[in-house]
Chain A
């Protein structure tokens, strides 16, 4: 067993207990997750907090497999986000004043969220809000809220509450973090959609043989696998381009490719599943619903890719020079 498995295997066992399809379903409307205490007790939430500050002191590369696995299980609570919030606050020499789940909340200069759609509330009590270079921990509204068009209860900042803690962050830091985390979650979910769709086309018989034996389906499945592989590699680029934080351009690559892949993955998965895939009862809907929602979260392919295009024009060399510089800056 290598280092990765030593970390990943117990985490996967945890996910099997606390992120079943039934629990994922229940979290959508309830906006509340019962299993946080168990997750927090597992120590994973402090994975990125330096050892000197009482954390586990893992590198970002170490936790990427965990984030992908959490995405694959549609873990209905903001584990990655809380992990990052705790680490960033710890690096500033402070500690998060709450032990409950915390959402990342990049805001623009006017204080508006840099996301068309707010993250799912899913048991979170606070948000880590960045405006300019200032990041603060602020309470979220609790209580009755109507689910959004996806049937999911979105988080809302409490406008009246004072911030609990303020730290300095580089400009755009939380925006890059939120986009890169979302891309990793999406990549994990898409890998699981590939598995589900493979199982379906091997199982489902039409015209006397499994769907997967038809060349037309095989070609579609290859495209599905390609989109998943691209998203997986892009997600890893997003989170591991630098040692300690995603750069703006790494996050841009990750979210752009995750968004593009999600369109292909959802379309092919639905085509292969046929009518059963558009029922509420089938688990595919859990995945597609979230993938569509994440495409609306923290910038889109069009928005992020413009940042890449602008950066390209600043580079005087050719596009290979640009890509290399982007990966090593």
Chain B
């Protein structure tokens, strides 16, 4: 336990990484002008290919990938600064988000040299977008029970099965999927492999699912005798589980687990400026910000560990669990504070933003590992499992 506390010891963002911040701010000021808060609040789920290509043109896609593959050759801190500014501004990052955050690093670590040269430069140029095929109708939190299967043959693999909740599959060019290549779902983590799937191949059917706000970002994806070339396999056959878990350590500790509701929070702060004697509201605002400041400190500490080549899985789970709880408390607290004073006029923009965040907030503690899964991981870190 002392070890767990030690791992959040203070780290500073190096000056080199901070130097990126004013450039990012200037870029965003230009790109984001005129976008209303309820559009900006969609940041994670806002798909805007033009925006992503503009980011690529600045050299900021694949910022941490080596230059020889089209990346920026920067460290984890630079990416922290970039992502922090994007999320604070509510930039529409969905088009490049998965590739930049997960698929790119995955291909760099586990891909063959040919795969790296084939995919990474185009990803960094904003020409191809990625999605991730993990969940299945009977494998959500119980990811090891996936049934989608690839059977190896002489000239490649034949893929059959179904993925679900696949974010932006209908607008992506490639999916990196976790599928079974040997054994049965009773074999759990064994016999799973990762594949990169060209979504234009015959036999693939992508059906959008409309979410509770009316937005359409996730999908069902069906594979019916899809023929994959031999080099669609990413990493080692049978090592898919270990590869996926390494990927999730990167995903769970970043600023994206703190700032999902920040556009709403800032929109509300603007509202409070016009309200005389908003004492109760100011205390609520301050509480949320105090926690956000502590989480940011923890997230930077874990970024330092990532930059040092470590894999702080438990710490990342802890930050994600606390961070998503904060993200979910923000719309609840703001709704309460606003509704307590019906005599104070509220802009349509703030109300729309509140309505959106209030409805999607439950997803914050589902995506990327549910709250219960994360707490199980923390308990293991404590030595209870």
Interface residues of A (CB under 8 A from B): 191, 194-195, 198, 201-202, 212-213, 215, 217-219, 221-223, 225-226, 228-230, 232-234, 236-237, 240, 252-253, 256-257, 260, 301-313, 318-323, 326-327
Does B238 interact with chain A (Cβ within 8 Å)?
A: no
What chain A residues lie within 8 Å of B375 (beta carbons)? 218-219, 222-223
Pairwise interchain contact B272-A212, C-beta atoms closer than 8 A: no
Known: A229-B318, A236-B10, A323-B296. 19 other contacts (CB 8 A): A218-B375, A219-B372, A219-B376, A221-B382, A222-B382, A230-B322, A236-B9, A257-B294, A305-B286, A306-B282, A308-B286, A308-B289, A309-B272, A311-B286, A313-B269, A313-B282, A318-B88, A320-B84, A321-B88
Does B292 interact with chain A (Cβ within 8 Å)?
A: yes
Pairwise interchain contact A222-B378, C-beta atoms closer than 8 A: yes
A305-B287 contact, Cβ under 8 Å, with A194-B1, A222-B375, A240-B10: yes
A233-B297 contact, Cβ under 8 Å, with A222-B375, A226-B318, A319-B292: yes
Pairwise interchain contact A195-B1, C-beta atoms closer than 8 A: yes
Please encode chain B, from 346 to 385, with 1 for each CB lying within 8 Å of some chain A CB and 0 for all others: 0000000000000000000000000010111011001111
Does B266 interact with chain A (Cβ within 8 Å)?
A: yes
Pairwise interchain contact A319-B290, C-beta atoms closer than 8 A: no
Residue pairs across A and B with Cβ atoms less than 8 A apart, 26 shown, are A195-B1, A201-B384, A219-B372, A225-B378, A229-B5, A229-B318, A232-B8, A233-B297, A237-B297, A252-B290, A257-B291, A305-B282, A305-B284, A305-B289, A305-B290, A309-B285, A312-B269, A312-B282, A312-B289, A313-B272, A318-B262, A319-B88, A320-B84, A320-B296, A323-B289, A327-B297
What chain B residues lie within 8 Å of A257 (beta carbons)? 290-291, 294
Pairwise interchain contact B285-A229, C-beta atoms closer than 8 A: no
Pairwise interchain contact B382-A229, C-beta atoms closer than 8 A: no
Pairwise interchain contact A225-B1, C-beta atoms closer than 8 A: yes
What chain B residues lie within 8 Å of A319 (beta carbons)? 88, 262, 265-266, 269, 289, 292
Pairwise interchain contact A256-B290, C-beta atoms closer than 8 A: yes
Please encode chain B, from 222 to 263, with 1 for each CB lying within 8 Å of some chain A CB and 0 for all others: 000000000000000000000000000000000000010010
Bound complex: CA A87 to CA B285 (Å): 34
Does B321 interact with chain A (Cβ within 8 Å)?
A: yes
A215-B282 contact, Cβ under 8 Å, with A229-B8, A234-B294, A305-B290: no
What chain B residues lie within 8 Å of A221 (beta carbons)? 378-379, 382, 384
Does B125 interact with chain A (Cβ within 8 Å)?
A: no
Work out how many contacts link A and B, with CB atoms closer than 8 A: 162
A306-B286 contact, Cβ under 8 Å, with A225-B382, A226-B321, A237-B294: yes
Bound complex: CA A202 to CA B385 (Å): 11
Q: How many interface residues does chain B have, given as a range? A: 35 or more
Does B164 interact with chain A (Cβ within 8 Å)?
A: no
Per a CB cutoff under 8 Å, which of A191, A222, A302 touches B5?
A191
Bound complex: CA A225 to CA B322 (Å): 11
Bound complex: CA A88 to CA B262 (Å): 39
Does B312 interact with chain A (Cβ within 8 Å)?
A: no
Does B273 interact with chain A (Cβ within 8 Å)?
A: yes
Bound complex: CA A327 to CA B292 (Å): 12
What chain B residues lie within 8 Å of A230 (beta carbons)? 291, 294-295, 298, 322
A320-B259 contact, Cβ under 8 Å, with A225-B378, A313-B273: yes
What chain B residues lie within 8 Å of A225 (beta carbons)? 1, 4, 318, 378, 382
Does B161 interact with chain A (Cβ within 8 Å)?
A: no
Pairwise interchain contact A229-B384, C-beta atoms closer than 8 A: no
Pairwise interchain contact A233-B298, C-beta atoms closer than 8 A: yes
A323-B382 contact, Cβ under 8 Å, with A219-B375, A305-B283, A318-B262: no
Pairwise interchain contact A222-B273, C-beta atoms closer than 8 A: no
Does B105 interact with chain A (Cβ within 8 Å)?
A: no
Pairwise interchain contact A309-B372, C-beta atoms closer than 8 A: no
7 nearest A-B residue pairs (beta carbon):
A309-B282, A308-B286, A305-B286, A309-B286, A218-B379, A222-B378, A222-B375
Bound complex: CA A327 to CA B13 (Å): 12
